[in-house]
Structure 1
Amino acid sequence: MKKNRYALLIIALIVGLLASMTFAVMVGSVDITPRIIWELLFTKLGLSLETTVSNPQSIIIWEIRLPRVILAAIVGAALSISGAAIQALVKNSIADPYILGVSSGASVGATSVILLGAFSAIGNYALSFAAFLGAIFAVIIVFLLARVNGRISVVRLLLAGIAISMVFSAITNFMLMMSKQQGGIQAVMHWMLGSLAGAKWSNLGIPFFIFLLVFTLLLLNYRQLNALLLGEETAATLGINLDRFRIFIILFVSLLTGVIVAVSGSIGFVGLIIPHLVRMMVGSNYKVVLPISALIGAIFLVWADMVARIVIAPEEMPIGIITAVCGSPFFIWMLRRRRYSFGDGE
């Protein structure tokens, strides 16, 4: 009975995601109808030969709006499953994907490109490459600091993540303070608050592939994630090599988060609140938590990006502001719920 309920919930969320994405493509200064969107999509996929979609409509949908909406869905899903995995890793309900220093490391990389022109030789890919490089570099330092006698200490992992985040944030702030480029400073601040404005089809391949890879690997290891919630001793008695599994989670979650931050900037609260919401809905079984987190995270960020586009139109609000405005009250409400504790499905 429970399996049927979960299957129906997943189907409903998939339908909700497709409906949300369709509506998000419709929203903008040029009116687009759902029929035009799906007609163009079927034509592009080779499922239909005839189309009444005009060339301007085709450019607006296919080149501008659709890549952005798809990127929002990928980013939301990726941050949500990353948050769920990290929370199981450290068995801490306030952990999120950025706790390993990923966001602050990426910010240093992005700032060095925008203000100092680093990696200018690779052109349009410089920002994404530098942000990813900074993110992975920060994670490596955190990982090395967290190892004690060849083993990873969860407490040291959290403390190292906080310390490295502060160091990298200080470096970013120093570069901003020393810069005389007003436009560059605004670009950095906009990036640090998250933005999907640079979405293009060429930007989607790597994030989508890495997301699928990490999602599949986490789903295949859902029993180990469930065991981590029961405690180290219980997990060890079940035959799980804790150190090897922690390294596995750190590496792949950091890879996914680094790639996502590189294309979207730092978008907070998604990886923190979505797994909480899912656990309150369906419990703590990661076989269910992971797919539902991915779908709800995707829907949430599609709507957040839509609000970011229209709330101060024709200007665009950084999406990180929207997620913070939505996430903070939810997090405060959750903390006030006396019955809720990490791992409960209430």
Structure 2
Amino acid sequence: MKLVVLGLSLSSAWGNGHATTFRALLKAFAARGHDILFLERDVPWYATQRDLADPAYCELAFYTDLTDLARWTATIAQADAVIVGSYVPEGVAVGRFVQKTARGVTAFYDIDTPVTLAKLARGDFEYLSPQGIPGYDIYLSFTGGPTLDLLEQRYGAPAARALYCSVDSALYAPTGEPKRWDLSYLGTYSPDRQPTLDRLLLEPARALPQYRFVVAGPQYPADIAWPTNVERIEHLPPAEHAAFYSASRFTLNVTRADMIAAGWSPSVRLFEAGACGTPIVSDAWEGLDQLFAPDREILIAHDTATVIAALTGADATAMGEGARARVLGAHTAAHRAAELDAHLAEAAAARRLAGAA
């Protein structure tokens, strides 16, 4: 298959979760024998923070604007499938161009589905419009569950299929690092996540001054009062993620409000930490217990006391091992690449059937 992907970023993981998601997925997809071109909008905030200039598994090219994107018109027209990702700059116009140009399958890959739906509901069509959804042959969604029915029934997606994020198991595994922190958190600042971070990490840090905590990620406001036993790391490149998780007795997963409301929206951090065998503490949302078994593979925390009890309680190595077994059995990039193959084949068959009719 010749696949073209127009995504937010492949070259830079700074301040976004898209790059690591695309890297794992496309590396595994290429391993299945496919040829891939990734087209990325050349923007200064990623251009100065690139940590992947020349991927071995696909061609990476940049375009400056919609006029420049036209240089790939013939390539897009001849591709077997073209995927447009969420948060692509001028994504509505990019999608319109792809739907007009491509002769193969067209897909929208939403790595932010609940956020996207909230934006659509308030008339914010930053990168996707309601009118554009029926024009894609398939809507690949970061979120599963009832959201898939909503996409088909309310927004007219011909087919909505879950395509969760995943982990590259060759890059994420226990490293043997000595334990440096009792509880870690890795994530870009988000106002709707901060109250949960306060409750499940900062409050335990204040209650346990002899324990060690760390928050890694950019864009946190300067006025946050970090307890003295909370270390701050401004940016942690993907190459250092496995060591970070391996050096943590526990790691915290915090979910954005829109994703909690939708449920069935696992963060890539769940799968990355799980692959490293690190015990995970997570906030609660519908569908989480279908991905990881509570108390055996993950600890679901509703309050500060639950986190404190975990940190001061029995060894949780077995829970980390359970999470690793679950991830390796169902949530690697190889699993997702096989799912993507099947989804695109399904969409191609539907196109042929429609054409015959």
Q: Please report the TM-score for the alignment, with normalisation by the length of structure 2.
A: 0.25
Higher strand share: 2
RCO higher in structure (CA 8 A, sep ≥6): 1
Higher helix share: 1
